[in-house]
Amino acid sequence: MSAIFKFFAAGPDAPPIQDAADVDRLFRYHRRNIIFIITLCYGLGYVCRLAFNVVKKPIMDAGIFTPEEVGFIGSMLLYGYAAGKFSNGFLADYTNVKRFFAAGILMSALLNFGMSLSTVVGISAVLWMFNGWFQGFGAPSAVVALASWFSNHERGRYYGIWSTAHSIGEGLTYLGIAFLIALPPKGLGLPWQWGFWTPAAICVLAAFLLYRYLQDRPQTLGLPSIAEWKHDGQTVVRPTSHNAAKIWRDQLKVLAIPSMWLIAMASSTMYITRYAINSWGNVYLQEIRGFDLFDANLFIFLNTAAGILGCVAFGYMSDKLFDARRPPTNLIFGLLELIPLFIIFYGPTNSIVLAVALVVYGFGLSGILASLGGLFAIDIAPKRVAGAAMGFIGIFSYLGAGMQDYISGKLIYDSEIRVVFSVGEYSPTVYFYDYTVPIVFWVGASVISMVLATSLWRAKSRD
């Protein structure tokens, strides 16, 4: 066990390189590699998280899992991810992120491969839960790499570049993996197992690239810290036993702030809608609206792509138009999220209307999520314990998302009608579902979220 800890532990500082030209050259070389590789590989790693969403319908059509079982398996990833987000954030601070990140992605690849072999719900659920946990290695590792190699005054820009990784991953999954599984001529019509094999292969490649090009802290290569090299930013203070106890007490105070509980509930209910659309949206579009697998996933991609603009627009609008007050912008983005939801589910069935509604929905949703899961929460929490506030809200959010996946699957399964044809040795079966009740659950969650967020209209920022 100690050999494993030793393997993953952050490396010791190397003797400092004395030649300033060498230091500059190495910093430039590694920084270019690192921002490129964490963005690319986090995006590639995302495919191993989302692929199950694309193959849900083929798996259900093949009678391998019922919607309830599919929902249960999907929810396990989110619980695993919530746990991973909590534990791996602490671990990443002490590890060589090059090895930690690569190992997480490699394990995720193996678990995806395992999923392609399993038709037993219990085994798939366990595999997918561990996949969620290993997926949780990525974000903290990338953030630690950003903190180690980019200074305070440039980190925002590079963080923005890294954030595009989500769209790379979603694009690859909702378009690329869907292309493999969709029937010709839009796709290759490969069996659903390819929806796990291909992500597994992609993640093995990503793990190799991470191991080859990501680096531990600059000091392990004999370089100075980024703050020294850039003459920018304060020294990082490591927690001592004295101030760690005080920080822990302050962290616990987050739980005593009523507004934090309201934000956590608002974020949790918004995550219900978010993951309902991302997990079940493409299945709904195929089952009820009659789109094929490729088109259904293309529609879902539109909403996730619009999300990038939503995040940026929310921050800009709340800062510039409302003097950094989040509640008015929460309300605007909440309505931008909610009105398209009604149009998607209860409006005209025209494809263009659906596409526009999904784009506006994705834009509004990302904005409100950026606020509830980040900006607004940090405003209200004491700045010293902003991390604890984010962790508290993150766990609530992913618990909501996980519960959603199971409840949605159960509600869909309750409406199932099977038409079974007896044809000699075969029994081809066609399944019919009614999404009326799940849609009320998904839209209702957003309504509750908006009401909760708006109830904090007078909430004040803390220093």
Comparing CA positions, the residue from 324, 268, 274 lying closest to residue 303 is 274
Among 3, 21, 352, 419, binds other proteins (CB under 8 A): 419
Residue 237: what residue type? Answer: V
Binding range to other proteins, per CB under 8 A, among 20-28, 159-167, 304-312, 426-434: 426-434
Closest approach of other proteins to the CB of residue 186, in Å: 10
User: Angle between the 67-92 and 138-149 helix axes, to the nearest 10 degrees?
Assistant: 30
Residue 2 or 422 with smaller CB distance to other proteins: 422
Q: Does 426 bind other proteins (CB under 8 A)?
A: yes
Q: Does 422 bind other proteins (CB under 8 A)?
A: yes
Among 154, 232, 250, 434, binds other proteins (CB under 8 A): 434
Q: Does 3 bind other proteins (CB under 8 A)?
A: no
Q: Does 346 bind other proteins (CB under 8 A)?
A: no
Q: Does 432 bind other proteins (CB under 8 A)?
A: yes
Residues linked to residue 430 through DSSP beta bridges, in sequence order: 419
Closest approach of other proteins to the CB of residue 422, in Å: 5
Residue recorded with tokens 């899992």: 65
Binding range to other proteins, per CB under 8 A, among 164-172, 212-220, 318-326, 412-420: 412-420
Closest approach of other proteins to the CB of residue 287, in Å: 6
Q: Answer for the pair 153, 277: CB distance below 8 angstroms, yes or no.
A: no
Phi, psi of 429 (to 5 degrees): -125, 135
Residue 26 or 201 with smaller CB distance to other proteins: 201
Among 18, 424, 458, 463, binds other proteins (CB under 8 A): 424
Q: Does 250 bind other proteins (CB under 8 A)?
A: no
Q: Answer for the pair 73, 121: CB distance below 8 angstroms, yes or no.
A: yes
CA 331, 333, 336, 338 torsion-angle sign: negative
Contacts (CB under 8 A) with other proteins, residues 279-318: 287-288, 290
d(C-alpha 177, C-alpha 172), whole Å: 7
Among 4, 237, 352, 423, binds other proteins (CB under 8 A): 423
Give the CA distances from residue 310 to residues 275, 276, 315, 379, in Å, rounded to whole numbers and listed in that order.
17, 19, 9, 19
d(C-alpha 392, C-alpha 380), whole Å: 13
CA 290, 294, 295, 299 torsion-angle sign: positive
Residue 323 or 425 with smaller CB distance to other proteins: 425
Give the CA distances from residue 378 to residues 210, 247, 296, 372, in Å, rounded to whole numbers and listed in that order.
31, 16, 36, 9
Q: Does 421 bind other proteins (CB under 8 A)?
A: yes
Q: Does 183 bind other proteins (CB under 8 A)?
A: yes
Residue 62 or 252 with smaller CB distance to other proteins: 62
Q: Answer for the pair 76, 132: CB distance below 8 angstroms, yes or no.
A: yes
Contacts (CB under 8 A) with other proteins, residues 41-80: 61-62
Element holding 366 (H helix, E strand): helix 351-370
**Which positions lie near other proteins, rule CB under 8 A?**
61-62, 183-184, 189, 287-288, 290, 415-424, 426, 428-430, 432-436
